């Protein structure tokens, strides 16, 4: 099948090569010998659109975890100094690994600005998340 395709494509490629500064190297590869400054390979960010593009721009700007989904190490977790959890909505479901060697996770719902205590004694508080897309949208 590839031999049939190669023989049907070659006349078209040779015709294109004779009209411009394109050189043909094997059956499907083009080498540009023109102005090399004009040729540029697109990067991943050039192909990305929508949410993926915003996340890539945020990471390039230095925001390592835009959606705050990576595992966090608990801080002091007292009532006066709770562990801060960012949320884009009014609530967020979090999981607490209460003991170091535990294989289970205790889940609980956090509501904005309402500190909540886990069964293990650590306190957590949900705060509004940083809207990274407003910072990187202009790029």
Question: Kind of pairing, strands 83-87 and 91-96?
Answer: unpaired
Rounded distance, CA 58 to CA 52, Å? 10
Residues facing residue 114 across a β-bridge: 111
Residue 14 confidence (pLDDT): 55
Same domain, 123 and 96: yes
Residue 24 confidence (pLDDT): 47
Residue 127 confidence (pLDDT): 93
pLDDT along the chain (139 residues), means of 10: 49 51 48 62 80 87 84 86 91 90 92 92 91 76
Same domain, 32 and 57: no
Domain coverage including residue 4 = 1-40
Residue 75 lies in a domain: no
Residues facing residue 25 across a β-bridge: 29
Residue 77 lies in a domain: no
Residue 88 lies in a domain: yes
Rounded distance, CA 37 to CA 19, Å? 21
Residue 15 confidence (pLDDT): 52
Same domain, 102 and 87: yes
Residue 43 confidence (pLDDT): 78
Q: How many domains does the chain have?
A: 3
Report the C-alpha dihedral over residues 71, 51, 128, 65, rounded to 10 degrees. 30
**pTM of structure:** 0.60
């Amino acid at each position: 099948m590839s031999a049939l395709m190669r023989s049907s494509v070659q006349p078209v490629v040779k015709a294109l090569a004779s009209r411009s500064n394109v050189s043909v190297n094997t059956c499907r590869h083009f080498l540009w010998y023109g102005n090399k400054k004009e040729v540029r390979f697109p990067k991943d960010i050039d192909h990305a659109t929508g949410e993926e593009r915003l996340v890539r721009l945020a990471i390039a700007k230095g925001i390592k975890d835009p959606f705050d989904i990576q595992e966090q190490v608990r801080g002091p977790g007292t009532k006066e100094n709770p562990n801060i959890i960012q949320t884009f909505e009014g609530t967020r479901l979090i999981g607490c690994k209460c003991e170091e060697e535990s294989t289970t996770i205790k889940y609980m719902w956090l509501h904005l600005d309402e500190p909540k205590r886990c069964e293990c004694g650590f306190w957590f508080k949900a705060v509004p998340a940083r809207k990274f897309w407003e910072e990187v949208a202009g790029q």
